[in-house]
Amino acid sequence: MSRMSPVHLEVEVVQDAGLACGEGPMWDPVRSRLYWTDAGGQAVYQLDRTTGTVSLLTDLIHTASVVLHADGGLVMGGAGGFHAWHPQTGLRPVATTCDGQAINRINDVIADERGRVFGGQEAFREDQAYEPGYLYRVDPDGRVGIVEEGLHLSNGMGFSPDGRCFYLVDSIARRLYVYDYCSASGAIANRRVLVQLARDDGLPDGMTVDAEGFVWVARWFGGGLSRFDPDGGLERVVALPVAQPSSVMFGGADLDELYVTSAATHWVSPVAPEGHDYHQPRGGPLFRLRPGVKGRPEHLAAV
């Protein structure tokens, strides 16, 4: 990634609970709420944008990230696979096995326009031999399949506005991939590297796609966000007051607010940039800023 001076926008702290690993922000335009998780535990939080109130939504199961369900609930990805939660009916399993093997350590999840849910694994562990991770797809009819493999730490995903491209981050490889996407079948194909980050950039983490088709990526260890054009060119860098931003999501009545989760965990790692300053604030708060562009509504799950 080429060097660029960061933009310094006004950054508002929405919640400062010092979450070990704030993650998975998801905007609900019907209820004017933002949901996000503490992937270091089991908590899912909600922000009522109308009142400004932050509250605990549920803590029934480990959840790394969520997508909105068409029934008004959520689909959660976490250590035990995929589960659905509804405020009236509670928790139910959606997909916990595939081809007889347990689905575990799901990190980010996303739904496509036909209600399928994709979720990738966090396979990388510094203290273990590396075992490649998978990207799963759960279909509305209940079928579960592996659509990609060999991932180190599957992270943020997104679709281009025309629905023809699928984006996927592999954090440890420091790559943002783009695939051709077929909405009719749910197939991804023709993987290529859209962006290769340098070690000094930090690790690409969660991401979202704005209304103009540009990709926003949070950079763990990188202290900011990067916005890339559809060809992978760096359009801007936004500075943040913490080293470990983890994910991004547009929200607000006009989808012109950008919410950023971050992590307080003190992860001293050989994958960090050379000479990384571990004395700077790590993270933990939920931030809000206004970047001057708008997002798009997220698709609803139907699994």
3-state secondary structure the chain: CCCCCCECCCCEEEECCCCCCEEEEEEECCCCEEEEEECCCCCEEEEECCCCEEEEEECCCCCCEEEEECCCCEEEEECCEEEEEECCCEEEEEECEECCEECCCEEEEEECCCCCEEEEEECCCCCCCCCCEEEEEECCCCCEEEEEEEECEEEEEEECCCCCEEEEEECCCCEEEEEEEECCCCEEEEEEEEEECCHHHCEEEEEEECCCCCEEEEEECCCEEEEECCCCCEEEEEECCCCCEEEEEEECCCCCEEEEEECCCCCCCCCCCCCCCCCCCCCCCEEEECCCCCCCCCCCECC
- Number of compact structural domains in the chain: 1
* Residue 17 CB coordination number (10 Å): 14
Q: What is the pLDDT of residues 130-187, one digit of tens each?
A: 678 999 999 999 999 999 999 999 999 999 999 999 999 999 999 999 999 999 999 9
Residue 50 lies in a domain: yes
Check the CA dihedral 188-86-288-77 and report its sign.
Answer: negative
Residue 230 lies in a domain: yes
pLDDT attached to residue 156: 98
Please indicate whether residue 170 is annotated as part of the active site.
no
Residue 1 lies in a domain: no
Region 47-58: mean pLDDT is 97
Region 69-96: mean pLDDT is 97
Residue 212 and residue 208: Cα distance in Å, rounded? Answer: 12
Q: What is the pLDDT of residues 28-47, one digit of tens each?
A: 999 999 999 999 999 999 99
Kindly list the distances between the CA atom of residue 219 and the CA atoms of 10, 260, 276, in Å, as whole numbers in the listed order: 18, 11, 13
pLDDT attached to residue 106: 97
Assign residue 169 the CATH number of its domain: 2.120.10.30
pLDDT attached to residue 179: 98
Backbone dihedral angles phi then psi of residue 201, each to the nearest 5 degrees: -75, -15
Residue 79 lies in a domain: yes
| Residue 200, domain extent | 12-289
Residue 5 lies in a domain: no
Residue 300 lies in a domain: no
Region 16-39: mean pLDDT is 97
Residue 215 lies in a domain: yes
Residue 6 lies in a domain: no
Catalytic residue among 108, 112, 205, 210: 205
- Per the document, the length of the chain is 303
Buried-state track 40-71, b at ≥16 Cβ within 10 A, e below 16: bebbbbbbebeeeebeebbeebbbbbbbbbee
Q: What is the pLDDT of residues 192-247, one digit of tens each?
A: 999 999 999 999 999 999 999 999 999 999 999 999 999 999 999 999 999 999 99
